Structure 1
Amino acid sequence: MPENVTPEGADDPICQASDVPDSVVPVAVVASRSSRARKSNNVSQDAGSVGRDRYDTVNISSSRTTRDRYVVGLVTPRRIHDQNEFSDTRTLLADEFLVDPESGGDVFASCRLESTCDEEEGAVGISWGKAMFLIINAALGAGLLNFPRAFHEAGGIVAGNIVHVIFTTFALGSLVIIGRCASERNCKTYQELVLHMCSPGWSIMASIFIAIYCFITCITFIIIIGDQFDRVFASYVGRTFCHHWYLNRKFTMVISSLLLVFPSCFKRIDGLRFMSYVGVLSIWYLVAVIVEEYYNGHYPKGPVVIFDIQCWTQIFDVVPTICFGYQCHVSSVPIYSCLKHQDAKTFMKACVSAVSVCLAVYTLSANYGYLTFGSRVEGDVLLSYDPRRIQVFVAVILLGIKSWTTYPILLFCVREAVSDMYIRLKSISPVEAAVNEPIRRKVIAVVLWAASIIMAVFTPNINVVVEVLGSLAAFFIFVFP
């Protein structure tokens, strides 16, 4: 710190908090963003005559929000070896580092140093169109396979479509609420949003629910991948394929899942956007096959219920499937944080477009799948088709690819939830958390990946799991928002 520059507010007790690490130096308590900008400029001008040991000055003015409030700024010392390097040492201090003096003197009360790690340098954000693909890929998945059977159990086509549209509207409204709240609070995860809008207790509960829900969903995706391998081998190798160790379900699930380790360690969720393109195209092809097989498949069909007024109480049986099919809300907050233009309007465009695509996909697959087989439709509609037909065979392969592309998105949410709970339980300061973040992230990702593989190997099917997941998804869609 230059000797002729005395930080304003240096005598303030907040700046003398005992829990400030040696590597962090309190700078000032200032009155407004405009005054902070002027003071920062003056500090940088007076610093030219100082020797080799210098401190990075901090431009505390931020464009993220226009609210003026008293804050505590922090700077990190850095030795500069190049005399001309000082002009490049000014860095932006994000809103997460600005701490109210009412926080009891804890200058780390709202810090999130992880958001500015080196791995994010140069990240400029994604457009709303790319965010739309990420949301679609997070929503579309195994729930698609259950929609035709859910329509039958709900009392027919009319009842199923009515309930579908109603709860889709609720899901979209929930996304809009989440987007507005994330825009106001500048949050990066769902549990962080709950922390800011509710309380630490609710945030911990959200983290637990997210970890359970997303982890179980990851297991279902591994099971789906194994199911598709089994169907392919049974059709072209024979029903005795499992007698060969290299074609055994457990072996193929583990080997194919090795490809999931690397993308599961990505720091930012927008790094998965290219996988989302493949996943969305795979689902569109699957829907096209369902429609085509209705006209050309000639499968035996059971009774088709249009509307059964006597079974109106069964209408709500379709709700868990709908909730599971539209649950992208946990992933939506990390996706929002990666937007180039982080505002509610931009995010709303991505959400409305994504939900509209999901509505069209689910409506087509549910109605055509149910009309093709009637009451004989399977819980997994793809099991009702003949895999020896080339278009069905390709759909089976693409469904496995779709599950492969969605797995890292869900594991990302589990990883962040587990990481947040670990930091809180260990009372780790944000400075220490930022230093250890890369190792912690990769270790948690690998452990979760291994655990999901082990549990998937010993889980027979996903029929019961989907209903449980749908019930948990309702918390993220209806309760927390």
Structure 2
Amino acid sequence: MLAGGSSINTEYGPCLSAEQEESAPLLGNRQRTSGASFGLSVFNLMNAIMGSGILGLSYAMASTGVIGFSILLLIVALLAAYSIHLLLRMCIQSAVTSYEDLGMSAFGSIGKILVACTILIQNIGAMSSYLFIIKSELPSAVAGFLSGDHSGSWYLDGRILLIITCVCVVLPLALLPKIGFLGYTSSLSFFFMVYFAIVIVIKKWSIPCPLPLNHTIEYLQVSNNSECKPKLFEFSRESAFALPTMAFSFLCHTSVLPIYCELKSPSKSRMQNVANLGIVLSFIIYFISALFGYLTFYDKVDSELLQGYSKYLPSDVLVITVRLFILLAVLLTVPLIHFPARKAFIMMVFSSRPFSYARHILVTLALNIIIVLLAIYVPDIRNVFGVVGSTTSTCLLFVFPGLFYAKLSTEPYCSLQKLGACGLLVLGICIGACSLTLITVNWAYNE
């Protein structure tokens, strides 16, 4: 998700220099009369953090165990906060306004293109994960309003509904030259995620364990093989998807600098507090929804959590409302993600050419076709989380902050900050390489 309705205020410079940081409170009182408050900035950052990854964390807990998951999620959250700390230090030193500009400052046009390409792939993966939710959940939402048996009907085919939705809703909204109003309405998606977590907690006691064999709770026969005892630690081939899913879930770094630049009375310590509080609150919501989702289905939890509730509580009012809210959040968010994805592509390929409506339409159409095909032909949302999380998410979350700081900082290499940046770089490379290798091995084993 993107920060809801955030815009960059550049009236007094996009960001503060190192010397200006000392006088940030004075600037806030005497010059900057506008800007986002601390609370609104926290909300915007949480809106940037929380997205479709929340649907895959229960599966990640099932594949790592409750304690194992808790430790890994905490480590990822702490590393995310530390990498934001490095980004803010670089922002103050170089007065940049975006992640791409950091790449330009560190490695010239090659660095800028590398970051833009990474953001493009990350956004394509994010949009594909959202469209996968439409493909898997919209048929259940439609069936919830129908009586009788409609199995086999075209209007319950997720692929057909996905294509119709993208052609009629996503594509027209993404084609608009300006779509600022969706920035405000997309803020609703954050509240939808909170409501999702609340319903997951409530429905923990609505589904019996062991689970019914025929996917309805009224049926008396139950599976004797299902275990109802949570595992504290677990390691299997499926565990390879856990860390990438967590990295995918905590990625907000492309929104940090714009939020910092529009913060009222901006300073590094103030923005770091915004980031820390946003990550802590997101961690709590993520952990609660993952824990109670896992304690509901245990080893039978689906890689996309809502699919389990569609099986066992197909007509439950709360589940239906959650499904509708999640679908609405997707429809409001996908067109927004089109904009930075299209901007990144045009910047890489047509950076020296003036704006063209024909190019605008063709690039938007091509992106829409790509993400629809990915959503249709990728069989499992965990594959999206795994591949995107172990590559682009790991780069944006760990590798690039450490690499750029090591390059841009004038501190000696034996300094604590630079050693930490190098450690973050090495850790990110190891996490990404190991996760992608294990995921590839897992695919080969399944084949």
> Same fold by TM-score, threshold 0.5 exceeded?
yes
Give TM-score, length-normalised by structure 2: 0.70
Match of 1:140 among 27, 45, 50: 50
| Structure-1 residue corresponding to 2:398 | 478
Report matched runs for 1:67-106 at 5 Å: none
| Structure-2 residue corresponding to 1:15 | none
Match of 2:387 among 460, 465, 468: 468
| Structure-2 residue corresponding to 1:278 | 188
Report matched runs for 1:304-315 at 5 Å: 304-308=229-233, 311=235
Percent identity between the two aligned chains = 22
Amino acid corresponding to residue 74 of structure 2 in structure 1 = V
Over aligned residues, Cα RMSD in angstroms?
3.4
1:478 deviation in Å? 0.5
2:119 is the alignment partner of 1:210? yes
For residues 380-420 of structure 1, the C-alpha deviation after alignment (integer angstroms, 9 at most, x for no partner) is 22112212111111111111122223323432331221122
- Relative to total residues, which structure has the larger helix share, 1 or 2? 2
Using a 3 Å threshold, how does the CA distance of structure 1 residues 330 and 401 change in structure 2: closer, same or farther? Answer: same
Using a 3 Å threshold, how does the CA distance of structure 1 residues 64 and 215 change in structure 2: closer, same or farther? Answer: closer
Checking the alignment, whether the CA contact within 8 Å between 1:331 and 1:413 is kept in structure 2 is no
Checking the alignment, whether the CA contact within 8 Å between 2:260 and 2:266 is kept in structure 1 is yes
SS at match of 2:210: coil
| Structure-2 residue corresponding to 1:92 | none
- Matched residues in 2 for 1:248 and 1:341: separation? 52
| Structure-2 residue corresponding to 1:187 | 96
Checking the alignment, whether the CA contact within 8 Å between 2:139 and 2:161 is kept in structure 1 is no
2:303 is the alignment partner of 1:379? yes
- Matched residues in 1 for 2:358 and 2:101: separation? 21
Checking the alignment, whether the CA contact within 8 Å between 1:272 and 1:409 is kept in structure 2 is yes
Using a 3 Å threshold, how does the CA distance of structure 1 residues 172 and 263 change in structure 2: closer, same or farther? Answer: farther
- Matched residues in 2 for 1:133 and 1:265: separation? 27
Give TM-score, length-normalised by structure 1: 0.65
Query: Greater CA deviation, 246-255 or 209-218?
Result: 246-255
1:147 deviation in Å? 1.1
Match of 1:366 among 290, 295, 301: 290
2:333 is the alignment partner of 1:406? yes
1:307 deviation in Å? 2.5
| Structure-2 residue corresponding to 1:328 | 252
| Structure-1 residue corresponding to 2:204 | 294
- Matched residues in 2 for 1:177 and 1:474: separation? 15
1:269 deviation in Å? 8.7
Using a 3 Å threshold, how does the CA distance of structure 1 residues 158 and 134 change in structure 2: closer, same or farther? Answer: same
Count how many residue pairs are aligned between Structure 1 and Structure 2.
Answer: 357
Amino acid corresponding to residue 106 of structure 2 in structure 1 = M
Using a 3 Å threshold, how does the CA distance of structure 1 residues 265 and 136 change in structure 2: closer, same or farther? Answer: farther
| Structure-1 residue corresponding to 2:420 | none
Match of 2:76 among 153, 160, 167: 167
Higher relative contact order (CA 8 A, sep 6+): 2
Using a 3 Å threshold, how does the CA distance of structure 1 residues 65 and 372 change in structure 2: closer, same or farther? Answer: closer
Checking the alignment, whether the CA contact within 8 Å between 1:265 and 1:441 is kept in structure 2 is yes
1:349 deviation in Å? 3.5
Flag structure 1 segments of 5+ consecutive residues without an equivalent: 1-59, 69-122
Match of 1:199 among 103, 108, 130: 108
Checking the alignment, whether the CA contact within 8 Å between 1:131 and 1:350 is kept in structure 2 is yes
Using a 3 Å threshold, how does the CA distance of structure 1 residues 284 and 172 change in structure 2: closer, same or farther? Answer: same
1:241 deviation in Å? 4.9
Flag structure 2 segments of 5+ consecutive residues without an equivalent: 1-10, 20-32, 212-225, 402-447
Using a 3 Å threshold, how does the CA distance of structure 1 residues 262 and 158 change in structure 2: closer, same or farther? Answer: same
- Matched residues in 2 for 1:184 and 1:269: separation? 32
| Structure-1 residue corresponding to 2:317 | 390
